[in-house]
Structure 1
């Protein structure tokens, strides 16, 4: 048994049924479980800490992902801090020596509608000093009940060379997780050529919005027709174009895949 399998075997049995297969077997196409225990999820994050060659293909992602108690506590801590009306941000990293998945104990506070690049760089510096390999990040959307990623959020998953494999956004009562896959696509243009603002402008104005820029309050948009898609519908369009996998859950519940929905025989 490889080391990933040995590590999984040392954890207590999950409350969700799961055969004792390893991440490496999933990568090799030998096994495609519909449910991941929290231990499987942890092992996948650890694998991603070693680079994008460990990304699964879109159809290898499960229908349900169990979140551990530690994950729920981390998300609820960030949600509580966001009650002050400001977005909060934390990196997700992997410690190669200790083989642990780490999130900052105290998330950094951003603006009411924006996490600046300076704040992201500060969090990245903290992670590097702690010896962490970045795999993604978590941030909050204050007072957002119909939760969706901003288009600028999704840009950070699809520009070439980024090290975000997982992105998490938290609303008032729910969670969204977005994952890259081995067969995801990038914009094909460097950040110098297609900026985050340019990406937003293209998507919003191509879907019936007037877009006037990004401020500390967030992306400034206005629908200009009755048939303008919702923010969530735009999320699905971006996910479809770039091959992202999306999950959602209520607070303190496990993740359910919402895109793409694959009909598989039971």
Structure 2
């Protein structure tokens, strides 16, 4: 058996998320069908393992998956073969052969997410599935002052949506950045951490936007850690502005 590490990108608009679901078009189901077709298996015995899940509407620039094939094909041949079977909203960017100890989920050491926000005073029809249009005034200095409060090891109980399967809400955020793109009328949030809870990035984004628009005190994140109450941070930024940008391995 040969194990392959595959870096993929996808437009999440027409996917019901990454994880396989009955009677739904998901990234995992499309990947599994293509890999088994390549291996000429008819019963779906070859499983595809992802570095994590993304929700419906969330995009990926650098999601990582792995699978084992019962024969050795050059990595470039696997990449070309997969892309010949993939729909236009999914692509294999890079394929590498790896040893059997590699696991896309359990051996990664961190992930980076990007959230794109359009600051136009109208919803751009060409960006409506790829940026969150936030037309309220934002004080970026307030956001920049709040961002360091997210960095470090914290209990993110106030930043997790119902449906989260983990009982441990402590997570470590390595870095948070704000990028300004005036030529696009956009700002981007970049979050890098060891792992993230269900909807955590989208809830953190919503809190930062509340701070920037003056609806929440600049250091209210510190209070949210203490209260451990999702009702204190009820907003979730829309899925279509979010991108899984990178997955890191040692």
- TM-score, normalising length: structure 2: 0.24
More helix by share: 1
Say which structure is richer in strand: 2
Higher relative contact order (CA 8 A, sep 6+): 2
